[in-house]
Structure 1
């Protein structure tokens, strides 16, 4: 059970575009560095309780780069999302649907040989005999923290980010790359500095700026704590999407586009392809008065292999242009079944990208909390996508922190109340995030040959 109280105030969607925050001073704002799912979730939570805030995003626009595709919400993420979105927006997001469970269908999918195309199993997750149920043993995380074991519904990441941004447009500042922070002499005001030479001040600073978080790194440095450990999971991925056009559907077997499927390369146990359909029940335009656009139905896919097969350094790999990422996806699979390769041959070129899998260790170390600075999501607890808990945990962070900051706001926003809110949030977060990370390692071992956390080395600085 979650310790925070779900608060889902409702209001008219038509009022979103003119939503106004109470007049704020520098001393009262929450400064959120990072406009991804975690940062915007916190912003929505604060907005609904009239706590002033500003989001600072380093990208020049929300469409600057690929945002990822399918996102499976487990029970934990579902309840947290209800809390941050509010009743009306949440219902509209659910009405769009994107997975079998949203269309009332029984989960399908296959587990197959990537070279021969032979079916090795069928059913949810390809009928993997190592059931997710085997992960639940004494002391393990509860089902809601185990990711795909309980999937409440599926959303598209781009749509979710757009929904989370509704009504916040005037409170998001783009092209702002965080460079550092400082405190006032009485420790009641925190000032964030940016690479463009500007600075902004507020009562609270929250780092939601991803795996290479500058906020979290400086927070640890200020507290004379060691830098965060980030484990190299020795996996490199190419991910993308293929639109479900009539031409593609005619060339690609129907059984392979029904539910989450897994294809394993018999010549390389570490090389796998995961695939999941994203099919919308309703158009976002109809549900949001044209403020959110629905993409075409598509298959989301990701190829995962060991880093040695990539044959290039991480800096070069992670900066691959979409066209080069497409070339690599075809090169890695050149000996695979021709029908399966149709998925890659007909992919949306501009949506293909490279990814390095990184994780925090399963036990997030306890440290003294700061009176006015904290962090959430991948900034604190990056994890493998195996288990499907990364974004869900970030949304939970936002719900918990937003709820506790509301209590501090109602307590006259006094420095002591803010400090207690941050300390309580970090205590809760360490517990459930550590469980989620441990669950991602178990799922990775089951699905794709990952090792125990202790067998991985930290990334080099």
Structure 2
């Protein structure tokens, strides 16, 4: 069990005192500004630099012998719509901080949707410590290769290459590959299990009530059910009901990115007669021809996940997806008669482990659209959906969740203040500004990746991720 670190108040960082020199410089500039009758540009008060809190090693949490009791008198009740990665992460972050919450999920149970594909924790591999998870049963990749369809290596990077001559040096950052359901389950275990979620709750409406709460209306087993909350958070994915009810789909419609993705998971045991160094459970590789592109990564220690993508008209992509796993597998095999072990992996993948969908995102949200909801906000794919080609969706959702919980904890410490100023002024404006700024570059880069990974750029020869090629003179 965990609770908030008293030294950094759960933020993971502490403000360092400004140096005497900086304070004097600011005071001198301010005095001069006053002498000039406040003409010109006023000096900006310097911000204290942040340092990692040593007491909690930057997580914002410390051990607790007893569970944290929700502080209903101080904090608003948070209604979380959606029990995916972002929604459950927000609940966990609220739990550790004594912020009352309820998760509402339209699915019947945890297994209703497999959410079975894998994800790669990048920036969020550190952030999950702020959610009380200090070890994950994931796989760390140490090598990344890019091939032509004949099997020629045209790019290689990763720890194994960078540290060939410096093996004893500490690794600053690694990517952790983990099954989405495994991470979701690890988060749910922090909450105490699946029964902490209100299953089969489909949000159908909400409205602000007289006391500044939000009245929620759900459809549950064919009946209407109501609830109240101080904050409503839409963590319900790219087709978010909260976003639709708050903003409307017509203002920020889904934007098709001109390609389809087919996903599959293949156990290594099905390839036991195939000896290949690419299947060492620590290698990520991709192969491309300028149109189709397949990306294969460790799913867990005993299986790999593959992601095949290629350009396709939107209606054709919808039709192929609707035909189901058998048709998707046949299409994938037809397009990838390439070097080993790609054909073998696709052939050995069972149909019930295959899915496919057209790829969409949305235009970046205008902050003014979000501010329409005084007590309502969005996070993860509900706020900033993006293509899967930079592996950033889950990472950004985790960062959103931790950021929002920290801002509620900090902004609502004084009930008299936040109830007078309103939750938007006290918490949501700052959270959304930070979230939208941080995620904007990820949305843009992910959209660019959907284009360049299916073009000649992907065949550039160089030991670096393909996106960096765009910055080179030859591709400008």
* Structure 1 length-normalised TM: 0.74
Change (3 A) 1:272 1:97: same
Alpha-carbon distance in 1 for matches of 2:88, 2:455: 34
How has the CA–CA distance of structure 1 residues 444 and 319 changed in structure 2, closer, same or farther, with 3 Å as cutoff? closer
CA distance in 1 between partners of 2:330 and 2:261 (Å): 13
* 1:210-249 equivalence runs, <5 A: 210-221=237-248, 227-245=251-269, 247-249=270-272
Q: Does 1:271 align with 2:292?
A: yes
Find the counterpart in structure 2 of residue 367 from structure 1. Answer: 368
What residue is the counterpart of 1:161 in the other structure? 184
Match of 1:108 in 2: 143
1:344–1:311 Cα change, 3 Å: farther
Change in Cα spacing, 1:327 to 1:199, as seen in structure 2 (3 Å) is farther
Aligned: 1:180 with 2:186: no
Alpha carbons 1:386, 1:443 under 8 Å: kept: yes
Structure 1 match to 2:151: 117
Contact 1:182–1:191 (CA under 8 A) maintained in structure 2:
yes
Cα distance, 1:338–1:306 mapped onto 2, change above 3 Å = same
Relative to structure 1, is the Cα distance of residues 448 and 99 closer, same or farther in structure 2, using a 3 angstrom cutoff?
farther
2:213 partner SS = coil
Change (3 A) 1:259 1:305: same
Correspondence for 1:54 among 102, 105, 114:
102
Map 1:14-413; keep pairs closer than 5 Å: 22=70, 28-75=76-123, 77-83=124-130, 85-86=131-132, 90-93=133-136, 96-100=137-141, 107-114=142-149, 116-124=150-158, 151-166=174-189, 167-168=191-192, 169-194=194-219, 196=222, 197-221=224-248, 227-245=251-269, 247-251=270-274, 253-255=276-278, 258-265=282-289, 269-280=290-301, 297-308=302-313, 312=316, 314=318, 316-333=319-336, 335-337=337-339, 339-361=341-363, 363-367=364-368, 369=371, 370-412=373-415
- SS of the residue corresponding to residue 367 of structure 1 reads helix
Aligned equivalent of 2:35: none
Distance 1:109 1:126, change over 3 A: farther
Question: How many Å separate the matches in 2 of 1:171 and 1:326?
Answer: 37
Q: CA deviation at 1:325?
A: 3.1
For the pair shown, which has the larger CA radius of gyration, 1 or 2? 2
Structure 1 portions without partners, runs of 5+:
101-106, 128-148, 281-296, 453-461
Preserved CA contact (<8 Å) 2:68 2:95: no
On the 8 A contact 2:11/2:60 being kept in 1, the answer is: no
Once residues 339 and 178 of structure 2 are traced to their aligned partners in structure 1, the CA distance between those partners, rounded to angstroms, is 30
CA distance in 2, matches of 1:306, 1:422: 38
Cα distance per residue 1:377-434 (max 9 Å; x no partner) = 1011011122222111111111111111112442226263522201111111111111
Which of the pair has the greater relative contact order for Cα pairs under 8 Å at 6+ separation?
A: 1
Q: Distance in 1 between matches of 2:112 and 2:199?
A: 11
- Displacement of 1:170 in angstroms is 3.3
- Structure 2 distance, partners of 1:58, 1:126, is 44
Deviations 1:178-211 (A, max 9, x none): 2121121343333243364222211111100101
* Deviation (angstroms), 1:239: 0.3
Aligned pairs, how many? 383
Structure 1 segments, 4+ long, off by >6 Å, are none
Separation in 1 of the partners of 2:160 and 2:202? 42
Cα 1:153–1:256 shift into 2, 3 Å: closer
> Which TM-score applies when normalising by structure 2?
0.72
C-alpha distance in 2 between matches for 1:43 and 1:317: 36
Q: Would you say the 8 A contact 1:260–1:275 is kept in 2?
A: yes
Structure 1 residues 23 and 201: alpha-carbon distance in aligned structure 2, compared to 1, 3 A threshold: same
Summarize the Cα distance change of 1:152–1:339 in structure 2 as closer, same or farther, 3 Å threshold.
closer
* Residue 437 of structure 2 is aligned to residue 431 of structure 1: yes
Between the aligned partners of 2:391 and 2:382, the Cα distance in structure 1 is 17
1:91 partner SS: coil
